[in-house]
Amino acid sequence: MTTMHSDSSLAKRLKITHPIIQGPFGGGLSSVDLVAAVSNSGGLGSYGAHIFNGTEIKELCVRIRTKTDRPFAINLWVSNEDPELSKFTEPQFIAQRNHYGEVYQRFGLEPPEWGDQHPANFDEQMEGVLEAAPAVFSFVFGISSPDILKACRERGILTIAAATTIAEAVAVEEAGVDMVLATGAEAGGHRPSFLRPSEDSLVGTFALLPAVRDNVRIPVIAAGGIADHRGVAAAQQLGADGVQIGTAFLACAESGTTSAHRESLLDNIDGLTTLSRAVTGRFARFLPNELSTNAPTKGASPLPFPAQSWLTGPIKNAAAVTVDPEFSSLYAGQVVPLVKHPKVDVLMQELIRGWN
C-alpha cells in the first residue's frame, strides 16, 4: 500500500491521504468493513445511514471506530418522504399492493399492512450524528438547516452536500456547506435532485463537473461514472478536487450487498441500466429486471417515497435470499462494464494511480 500523500488540499482538509471517497450506500448496502477498509487505505469511507435512528447511528460509529481510527463519513437523506405522502390514502396503498399479489405469493410472503411502517425522522437521526461526531457528515435530497450546519461546524464535522445541477451547487455553497458533490446522471443509486424533479435534472458528469467548478468556490467532488484511474484523471482534469465512487465499491467483497449483486456488477458487459421509480418511489439507477422496470404493476405509477419501498421491500429481501435476479434490487451506475476489482485494496490502488 502506498503511503504517499496526494497533493490535494481536499485530502488535507479531510485529513485523508488520497482525495478518494467511497460513496455511501443506503438501504442496508453499506458495511462497517467497507468503510474501514477504504479509510484504512487512505481514502474516506462513508456509511449510508438513512434507515437508522439516532441511537443506531451512535452505535454504528462505535463499531466503525473499532476498525479504523481514520476519518469517515456518515450520510443521511435530508428529506425522508415525498410531499405527496401526506395526501396518500389507504385505498391507494391497497390498490398498488394488489398489483404485487402474485409476487408476494411467489415468495411465500404476507402482503405488507397499511400503517406498519413510517418514514425516518431526520432531526432525530441528526442528534445521533452530532453526538457521534464523525469527521464528515454528507447528505442528499436537500440542504440541512442553518442550525444543523452550525452545530456541525462547532463540533468540527465537515459537511458535503450533493448537487445534480448548477443551481443546486450554488444553493449548497450559499447555505454554507463545506464541499459540494457534483453527481452526474451516470451514477448508480438515487438521483438526489432537490430544486427540480430528478427527471428534469439529468446532467452527465462531463458537462456538470466543469460547470459546477466554474460556478462555486468551495471544493467540488465529482461522482458518477468513475471506476478506474482513467475516470479519476478525467475528473481531476475537469476541475474536481476529489472523486466519489459508488458502483465500483459496491462490487467489492467488503460491501454490504449480496454476492449475487456483486457478481452481476463484476460480470456486466453491456452497460445497460435503467432509471426508475419502481423500487422506492424515488428515481434511481438499476440493472433492468422485473422489479426495476415496474413489470408487476403493468405501468401503474409508483407510490410516493417511501410508500413504494414498503411494498417492494419484502420482495427484494426475499429475492436476495432465494437469489432471484428478477426481483432483487440491483442498483448499478452506467460505469458497470468497467467494474473489475472485487477487493477494496486493489480498487484503491487502481483509483489512486489516476490522481496526480
Ligand X SMILES: Cc1cc2nc3c(=O)[nH]c(=O)nc-3n(C[C@H](O)[C@H](O)[C@H](O)COP(=O)(O)O)c2cc1C
Residues contributing to the site for ligand X (CB under 6 A):
23-26, 29, 48, 50, 75, 138, 140, 162, 183, 186-189, 223-226, 244-247, 250, 331, 333, 335
Using the structure block, give the residue that is written with the C-alpha cell 485523508.
16
Q: Please, which residue, 248 or 303, has the CB nearer to ligand X?
A: 248
Spatial distance between the Cα atoms of 44 and 35, rounded to a whole number of angstroms? 8
Spatial distance between the Cα atoms of 228 and 349, rounded to a whole number of angstroms? 9
Minimum CB–partner distance for residue 73 and ligand X (Å): 9
Minimum CB–partner distance for residue 226 and ligand X (Å): 6
Q: Please, which residue, 25 or 93, has the CB nearer to ligand X?
A: 25
Cell digits of residue 47: 456509511
Spatial distance between the Cα atoms of 58 and 283, rounded to a whole number of angstroms? 29
Minimum CB–partner distance for residue 121 and ligand X (Å): 16
Minimum CB–partner distance for residue 70 and ligand X (Å): 18
**How many C-beta atoms surround the C-beta of residue 81 within 10 A?**
18
Cell digits of residue 87: 395526501
Residue nearest to ligand X (CB): 246
| 275-299 exposure pattern, b = at least 16 Cβ within 10 A, e = fewer | ebbbbbbbbbbbbebbbbebbbbee
In the chain, the amino acid numbered 65 is: R
Minimum CB–partner distance for residue 6 and ligand X (Å): 19
Minimum CB–partner distance for residue 77 and ligand X (Å): 6
Q: Please, which residue, 100 or 286, has the CB nearer to ligand X?
A: 286
Which value, to the nearest 10 degrees, does the dihedral of the CA atoms of residues 109, 76, 323, 282 take? 70
Distances (CA, A) of 146 to 22, 70, 159, 193, 350: 26, 27, 12, 19, 38
Cis peptide preceding 314, ω within 30 of 0: no
Q: Please, which residue, 24 or 306, has the CB nearer to ligand X?
A: 24
Spatial distance between the Cα atoms of 252 and 250, rounded to a whole number of angstroms? 6
Minimum CB–partner distance for residue 176 and ligand X (Å): 19
Minimum CB–partner distance for residue 102 and ligand X (Å): 27
Q: Please, which residue, 152 or 223, has the CB nearer to ligand X?
A: 223
138, 221 contact by CB (below 8 A): no
Q: Please, which residue, 96 or 268, has the CB nearer to ligand X?
A: 268
63, 85 contact by CB (below 8 A): no
Q: Please, which residue, 231 or 296, has the CB nearer to ligand X?
A: 231
Q: Please, which residue, 76 or 104, has the CB nearer to ligand X?
A: 76
